Amino acid sequence: MTKLSVNINKIATLRNSRGGNVPDLLQVAKDVQKFGAEGVTVHPRPDERHIRYQDARDLKNVVYTEYNIEGNPVGKFIDLVLEIKPTQVTLVPDADNAITSNAGWDTIKHRNFLIEVIDEFKRNGIRTSVFVDPIEVMVEGAKETGADRIELYTESFAYQFGLGNLKGIEPYVKAAVKANELGLGINAGHDLSLDNVKFFKENIPGLLEVSIGHALISEALYLGLENVVNMYLQRLK
């Protein structure tokens, strides 16, 4: 079974839009785990527009499943991860002003930088994952950085799936096969939803984990958070 990690950034966005502590981010993290999610994901950005750095610290005492912190490994982010020591750190090359993640790493161009950062995290016992587009050479580059896993950036798949083009999965299958050959674990995320996650899971060999936030929280507005978490778990079996 592929694990479900719930990204709770959108809960923080809603809280921050009004001030105060409603909805309660820590309670939501507790709830999604109680409902069956096998992990919690956060993606703090330097401007703290949604997840605050203190949120990431506070969640350390709440997340008893897998704790995944995503982000661009700038100095402040590296310090935060080394302080918290989550289960996993996912390195994402997003710019400060990006609304959301919009590209994977060029693991060839940034090879030396990634090697240095990943080595530091691994020395501290933190599993490392590198966000990549479904391009075989970038998967090979991720292996050379010393990463434990890759996270496939799935926006393109989700867009093509929405158009009815099932062939949009093909680059992801090739990338996954290459990752399996190289001994890299495979995670995936971005625009996965109740509509497309089952098809994606069924076609990606060795898919270990999906991280889902925006779609899951949006779907929960209509269907309820507990119900939606369990609907994802059923699709990921």
Q: Which of 70, 151, 209, 219 is catalytic?
A: 70
CA distance 168 to 158: 8
125 φ/ψ sector (left φ>0, alpha ψ -120 to 50, else beta) = left
Are 236 and 187 contacting, i.e. CB atoms less than 8 angstroms apart? no
Q: Which of 66, 190, 209, 219 is catalytic?
A: 190
DSSP one-letter string for 29-79:
HHHHHHTT-SEEEE---TT-SSS-HHHHHHHTTT--SEEEEEE---HHHHH
Q: How many CA atoms lie within 13 A of 62 on its CB side?
A: 20
85 φ/ψ sector (left φ>0, alpha ψ -120 to 50, else beta) = left
Q: Which of 43, 50, 151, 219 is catalytic?
A: 43
Helix (H) or strand (E) holding 173: helix 170-182
Is residue 43 flagged as an active site residue?
Answer: yes
φ and ψ at residue 226, rounded to 5 degrees = -60, -45
Q: Which active-site residues does the annotation give? A: 43, 70, 190
